[in-house]
Amino acid sequence: MIEYWNPLVERMPVDELDKMQEKRLKSLVNYVYQHSDFYKKKFDDANVKPEDIQSLDDLKKLPFTYKSDLRDTYPTGMFCVPNEQLVRFHASSGTTGKHTVVGYTRNDIDQWATSLARALTSLGIGRGDVIQISYGYGLFTGGLGLHYGAEEVGCTVLPTSSGNTEKQLNLMQDLNSSVIACTPSYFLFMNEVANQSGISIEHDTQLRVGIFGAEPWSEEMRTRIEEATGIKAYDVYGTSELSGPLCTECQHQDGIHIWADQFLIEVINPETGEQLAEGERGELVITTLAKEALPLIRYRIGDITVINKQPCECGRTHPRIMRVLGRADDMLIVRGINVFPGQVESVLMNIPEVGEHFMIVVDRVNELDIMKVQIEMTDEAFSDKINDIMSLEKKVASALKNVLNLAVKVELVENGTIPRSMGKAKKVIDNRKL
Amino acid sequence: MEEKIIKQISLFAENKPGRLANIAENFRKADINIRAFTIAEAGDFGIIRMVVDKPDVAHEVLHDAGFTVSETSVLGVEMQDIPGGLGKIADVLGEKSINIDYAYAFVTKTEKALLILRVNDIEGAIKTLNVTGVKLIDMADIQAI
């Protein structure tokens, strides 16, 4: 098994990586200024010329790009190449508004596959592995994105896409899938269905690795998945605007390696836009250094994270982002307190009596926000004494209050009534008319 | 002693329309007869407790229908239908420090009252009640009702 896909790049000394980034940043600003009316106007409005950008430090002079820019220029107004140079379109799932379109040149597709080839190699995945891709194929980037990366490293791809869980489990057993890629909530659902049919993923399948993403998930959920199914669970990061799923953790499970030759990352204070120091928690901002069709300059991706620039034990020198707690978009403000669904998940995963499915429901009653967390009663936790059930509700409510600093009403609901999802799980119902 | 333990079906149900109808329909299909039935409700949820003629089948049917359900060991006490009948039972258990978690009663076709009890020490309760001459019914009696 090979250790690195591009050893020279992945282990490049940090100062050389910086030089490479600087060079690529300078040519990028010239490229977008010349090829995109959108960026030319954006730079002109901000009073910045390409020649003002001489070092990585000058990055902060550049204006931000937002998701709304992609929407406003729908469908292809930000593209830097004519349409005939595109080999593919994808469109975002539109979870946060009107959909957005991303185009790819041949080189963009290759870069994307390379990024994932490095990532898969870092997880010990390659020739001889059967990878079951249960992310949706189609306009969503999850399926096809991983597909190309997996083929690049020589895996055998089983493109099941999402849904039809019984069939997924049959194929997993019959074709000896060793790797699965899907949302963590779908994998848990799959495990539930497997158990109902008497199949143990740990003992009755060859599955050993899961690549999970497309929705925020917690360290505690990782523990639960690994314990329940005997596989190693890894986080994958990416969004459609940046191509799709791009980068993963390595086997050390200590942050996602973001390839510095392809992406320049910063963390900013979401309110002031100021850059934050390494190790400070803030909003992730990404500049694509190598994309041709749709380069993004200081793109406000909206995820809240921390950058770690220390070289990893695996020998890779590229910076890591620590587990994404949630998107700025997912953040709820309840009685003035910021709440991420990921925090709720972390708390619940630490309470063994509670199942992994939950729903946050926020209402406004008499001008006051009421946050309710619904969790499912499991067979194991069920006692037929009312007091036992009420004390479980109290236990969960007080654990949530400790973490969120917010009084939360906990409601136990019947098993199986919280909707399961084949893709991104919906975890919040906000009934407030704000 | 074992044979004096009655298997009660306990079930978690949200307090919303149609839940009871769903249970009844499942029982009808599986030809299960309910002998005693009670709902303890606490706001958003309730616990339905039932004594049925075929508890194992009932458990399986409800579990397969997606309910959170358990079998709980309870006692069935045949009570004399005279004033003080209940008081006597509570007294003897109290003397032995056996706590009654919950209880519910029903009247059979034979004009006897039956009391279903969940206690914190089921074996102690059986011994105590046997000594005092209280008649405990068993699953065969439940099926025969």
Shared domain for A212 and A109, answered yes or no, is yes
Q: Do domains B7-72 and B74-144 have the same CATH topology?
A: no
With a cut of 50, which residues of chain B have pLDDT below it? none
- Check whether residue A323 and residue A340 sit in a common domain: no
Q: Where residue A432 falls among pLDDT bands split at 50, 70, 90?
A: confident
**C-alpha to C-alpha distance for A341 and A304, rounded to whole angstroms:** 13
Are B76 and B17 within 8 A, CB to CB?
Answer: no
Residues A367 and A300 in one domain: no
pLDDT for position A329: 67
Residues A157, A245 within the same domain: yes
Tokens of A308: 């770690």
Residues A336, A238 share a domain: no
Q: What is the pLDDT of residue A40?
A: 96
Domain ranges of chain B: 7-72, 74-144
Provide CB contacts within 8 A for A219, sequence distance 6+: A323, A346
User: Domain boundary at A312, A327, A342, which?
Assistant: A327
Which residues of A fall below an 8 Å CB-CB distance to B? 377-379, 382-386, 389-390, 411-417
Would you state the pLDDT for residue A274? 94
pLDDT at A375: 93
* Per-residue pLDDT tens over the stretch B17-41: 888 888 999 999 999 999 889 998 8
Q: Which of A377, A385, A411 sits opposite B68 (nearest CB)?
A: A377
The answer to whether residues A218 and A347 belong to one domain is no
How high is the pLDDT of residue A155?
Answer: 97
Q: What is the pLDDT of residue A325?
A: 64
Q: Which pLDDT belongs to residue A227?
A: 94
Cβ <8 Å between B102 and A390: no
Res. A97: pLDDT tops 60: no
**Contacts with B40 from chain A: Cβ below 8 Å:** 386
Residues A373 and A410 reside in one and the same domain: yes
Contact A377 B12 (CB under 8 A): yes
Interchain proximity B12–A411, CB inside 8 Å: no
User: What is the rounded average pLDDT of the residues A88-92?
Assistant: 91
A216 with A131, same domain?
yes
Tell me the CATH number at A166: 3.40.50.12780
Specify the pLDDT at position A307: 95
* Lowest mean pLDDT segment, chosen from A103-107, A290-294, B123-127, B139-143: B139-143
Q: For the domain that residue A371 is a member of, what is the CATH number?
A: 3.30.300.30
| pLDDT (mean) for A238-248 | 91
Strands A130-133 and A179-182: parallel
Domain B7-72, CATH homologous superfamily name and number? VC0802-like (3.30.2130.10)
pLDDT for the residue numbered B44: 83
Q: Which of A384, A391, A410 has the highest number of chain B CBs within 10 A, making it the mutation to test binding with B? A: A384
| Cα distance between residue A33 and residue A30, in whole Å | 5
Domain count across chain A: 2
**Which chain B residues are Cβ-neighbours of A378 within 8 angstroms?**
68
If you search the block for the tokens 């749709």, which residue do you land on?
A294
**What tens digit of pLDDT does each residue of A128-178 get?**
999 999 998 999 899 999 999 999 999 999 999 988 899 999 999 999 999
* B106 vs B115: CA distance, rounded Å: 7
- For residue A377, the chain B residue with the least C-alpha distance is B68
Interface contact A414-B68, CB threshold 8 A = yes
Per-residue pLDDT at A342? 83
pLDDT of residue B31: 94
Q: Rounded distance, CA A48 to CA A64, Å?
A: 12
Domain that holds residue A244: 1-327
Domain final position from A298, A327, A356: A327
- Averaged over A65-81, what is the pLDDT? 92
User: What pLDDT does A364 receive?
Assistant: 86
pLDDT at position A423 over 80:
no
Per-residue pLDDT band for A214 (boundaries 50, 70, 90) equals confident
Point out the domain boundary residue: A327, A359, A376: A327
Q: Is the ipTM of this complex over 0.90?
A: no
- Shared domain for A187 and A66, answered yes or no, is yes
Look at domain B74-144 and name its CATH class: alpha beta
CB contact under 8 A, B47 and A411: no
pLDDT at A253 > cutoff 70:
yes
Min distance A424 CA to chain B CA atoms (Å): 24
| A384/B70 CB distance under 8 A | yes
Residue A395: is its pLDDT beyond 80?
yes
Would you place residue A328 in the very low, low, confident or very high pLDDT band (cuts 50, 70, 90)? low
- Between A and B, how many CB-CB pairs are < 8 A? 52
Chain length of chain B: 145
Query: Taking residues A380-408, what's their average pLDDT?
Result: 90
Residue A215's pLDDT is what?
A: 77
CA distances (Å), origin A354, targets A226, A349, B33: 17, 7, 33
Least confident stretch, A165-179, A330-344, A366-380, B31-45? A330-344
Is the domain of A240 the same as that of A305?
A: yes
CA of A368, closest CA in chain B: separation in Å?
A: 21
Q: Do A206 and A92 have their domain in common?
A: yes
HEC profile of A34-102: HHCHHHHHHHHHCCCCHHHCCCHHHHHHCCCECHHHHHHCCCCCCCCCCHHHEEEEEECCCCCCCCCEE
Query: How many other β-carbons are positioned within 10 Å of the β-carbon of residue A7?
Result: 14
Q: What value does the mean pLDDT of chain A take? A: 91
Partner residue opposite B12 with nearest CB, options A390, A411, A414: A414
**Residue A95 predicted with pLDDT over 60:** no
Range from A38-47, A304-313, A329-338 carrying the lowest mean pLDDT? A329-338
Q: To 10 degrees, what angle do helices B85-95 and B122-131 make?
A: 120
Residues A264 and A372 in one domain: no
Q: What is the pTM of this model?
A: 0.74
